[in-house]
Amino acid sequence: MTGMTNRFPRLLADIGGTNARFAIETAPGCIEAMLIYPNRSFFGLKEAMETFLSQPQSVDAGSKKIRHAAIAIANPITGDRVKMTNSEWTFSIEDVRKRFGLETLLFVNDFTALAMALPFVGPESLRQLGGQAPVENRPIGLLGAGTGLGVSGLIPSNGDWIPLETEGGHATFSPFSEREMELLRLAKKQFPHVSAERFLSGMGLELIYRLIMESRGKEAEPLRASDITARALQGECAWCDEVVETFCQMLGTAAGNLALTLGARGGIYIGGGIVPRLEDRFFTSGFRQRFEEKGRFSSYLSKIPVYVVLDTYAALAGVSIMLARHLG
C-alpha cells in the first residue's frame, strides 16, 4: 500500500488536435487542477506542460512531486517520435520524460482513453438518442468528431474491458445517398483518398459547405466550422443548416457501420467537441434514422442506444485507469 501511495500525485493529460487538457491525480480516482489550453498557445507539448505544472492550483495539488504521467493524444503511437496529424506539435517521448524527470511517461490514443472511461461516465454526463437499454457484457462502440474523427470501442473480457486502439477515422468514407455520392465525387477532385474524417470533423464541416455551394453554383464565403454551426443553430443561413444536417446524417451512417462491425449491443457513444455543441439540432437531425437504415439489419440497430458524451474531461478518467494498469 505504501508503494502505491508513493506513486501519487500523477500527471494526466488529454491532447487533441485543438485543445490540451491537463489534470493532477492526487489519489486513486481523485482528479484535481483540471485546466484546458488551446494548442496554438504553445510551440509544443513541453511548453504546455511547463505552463500547467507551474500554475498555483497545480503546485497546490503536488505538481513538483510528480514522477508518473500518462498522456492521451490524438495520434497513433508507433515509436519515440510523435508528429501530430492535426496539429503542428512534434516531439520525442523520451525527451519529454527526461525534461520533467519522470520515471513513467505513458502515451495512449485519445479515443482509446475515452473508451476506457465510458463505463464510469455518470448518467448526468450522457444524453441518449433512441434505442433501448444497453445489453450487459456486450461490446461498446465510440466515435467522435472534433478536429479529426476518433474511433474506438470496448470489448468485454472476464469482468473487465479491453479498449481498442484504432485509426478508424481514416477509413474510406462511405456515402449513402445520391447527394453524398455527388459530394464524394467533388471531394475526390481534391483528395485522392477521401476518408470519413474528411467529412466528419471540423475541417469536414468546412469542406461540406464548400462542396454544397460548388454543387449549387454559389460562391462560398470563407466560413470556419464554428461560423457554420453558429449560423445553422441561429437559423441565419439555410446553406449552413444543410451542412449540419448532411454532417449529422453522414455521422449516422458511420455510427451504424461501427455498431454492426463491433456488434455493439452495449451501445454507441458519441464523443468529440462538435456534436455536444449542436445540442438539440443533433437530436432533431436525421442521425438516428440514418443510423438504423441498414436494410435487413435495421431492426437489430433500432435496439442499440446511442449516447452523446457531454463531459469534456471524461478521457482523463480513462487515462488514469490505463496508467494504473501500466504501473500494476
Give ranges for CATH 3.40.367.20 in the chain.
122-310
Amino acid identity, position 96: V
Domain with CATH 3.30.420.40 in the chain: 2-115+313-327
Q: Which residues contact 32 (CB under 8 A, 6 or more apart)?
A: 23, 24, 25, 26, 57, 61
pTM: 0.94
Neighbouring C-beta atoms of residue 198, cutoff 10 Å:
23
Q: Can you give the pLDDT at residue 86? A: 79
The CATH code for residues 2-115+313-327 is 3.30.420.40
Q: What is the pLDDT along the chain (328 residues), one digit of tens a residue?
A: 445 556 899 999 999 989 999 999 999 999 999 999 999 999 999 999 999 999 999 999 999 999 999 999 998 889 999 999 878 899 999 999 999 999 999 999 999 999 999 999 999 999 999 999 999 999 999 999 999 999 999 999 999 999 999 999 999 999 999 999 999 999 999 999 999 999 999 999 999 999 999 999 999 999 999 999 999 999 999 999 999 999 999 999 999 999 999 999 999 999 999 999 999 999 999 999 999 999 999 999 999 999 999 999 999 999 999 999 999 8
Task: Compute the distance between CA of residue 17 and CA of residue 137 in angstroms, rounded to an integer.
Answer: 32
The CATH number of 122-310 is: 3.40.367.20
For the record, the C-alpha cell of 71 comes out as 498522456
So what's the pLDDT on residue 6?
66
The whole-number pLDDT of residue 4 equals: 55
Cα dihedral 49→50→56→62 (10° resolution): 70
Distance CA 143, CA 287 (A): 14
| Of 168, 145, 159, the residue nearest 278 (C-alpha) | 145
